[in-house]
């Protein structure tokens, strides 16, 4: 299943797509596509080659909010941004997991740290603060899953209570 992220595409890519993690098996994740020119050389190709997938877990927490409002807000965020894999929530905290395409860990973390604040008004998210962030590369994610520790595979895509 391929999902496109809305908004402007990064320079040098003809398409930006992310996929969900499978049910514990190694899911087929998208690979960078050829530039619109099809040449595969030059600065655009170099940037595309440097881009990789990062698994992001963002944890937020704050004052209690009605569960139905938290769920509705997270569902709206997932609707607006279909790259989100799964969200788990309670009345005073939530966890959002997704794959981010970025050149390096710093870029992936910067995008993750902006996610909650930038979409607080549009998705009517609770006024919670970010209390945790984990960004790991694809290889580390799969190694952790294979060894039985780390984030469990996101078998149930969507918004779920804890």
Cα distances (angstroms) measured from residue 134 to each of 11, 26, 67, 151 = 26, 20, 25, 10
| 48-52, 64-68, 113-117: the lowest-pLDDT one | 48-52
Instruction: State the Cα–Cα distance between residues 132 and 61, nearest whole angstrom.
Output: 9
pLDDT digits (tens, 9 = 90+) for 27-65: 434 444 433 444 455 555 555 557 899 999 999 999 999
pLDDT digits (tens, 9 = 90+) for 13-34: 344 333 333 333 334 344 444 3
Number of alpha carbons in the 13 Å side-chain half-sphere of residue 115: 28
pLDDT of residue 153: 55
Mean pLDDT value across residues 69-89: 89
Q: Tell the residue number behind the tokens 């209690």, with chain if given.
A: 64
pLDDT of residue 152: 58
Count of Cβ atoms closer than 10 Å to residue 1 Cβ? 11
Nearest-10 Cα torsion for 30, 27, 70, 150: -120
Total-model pTM? 0.67
Mean pLDDT value across residues 88-104: 94
- The average confidence (pLDDT) of the chain is 76
In the predicted model, is pLDDT for residue 80 greater than 70? yes
């Amino acid at each position: 299943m391929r999902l496109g992220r809305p908004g402007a595409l990064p320079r040098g890519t003809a398409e930006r797509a992310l996929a969900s993690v499978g049910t514990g098996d190694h899911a087929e994740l998208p690979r960078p596509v050829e530039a619109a020119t099809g040449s595969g050389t030059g600065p655009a190709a170099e940037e595309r080659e440097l881009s990789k997938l990062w698994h992001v877990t963002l944890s937020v927490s704050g004052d209690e909010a009605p569960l139905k409002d938290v769920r509705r807000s997270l569902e709206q965020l997932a609707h607006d941004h279909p790259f989100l894999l799964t969200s788990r929530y309670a009345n005073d905290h939530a966890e959002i997991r997704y794959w981010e395409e970025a050149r390096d860990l710093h870029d992936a973390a910067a995008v993750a740290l902006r996610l909650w604040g930038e979409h607080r008004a549009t998705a009517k998210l609770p006024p919670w603060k970010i209390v945790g962030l984990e960004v790991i590369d694809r290889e580390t994610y799969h190694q952790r899953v294979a060894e039985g520790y780390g984030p469990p595979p996101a078998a149930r895509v969507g918004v779920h209570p804890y």
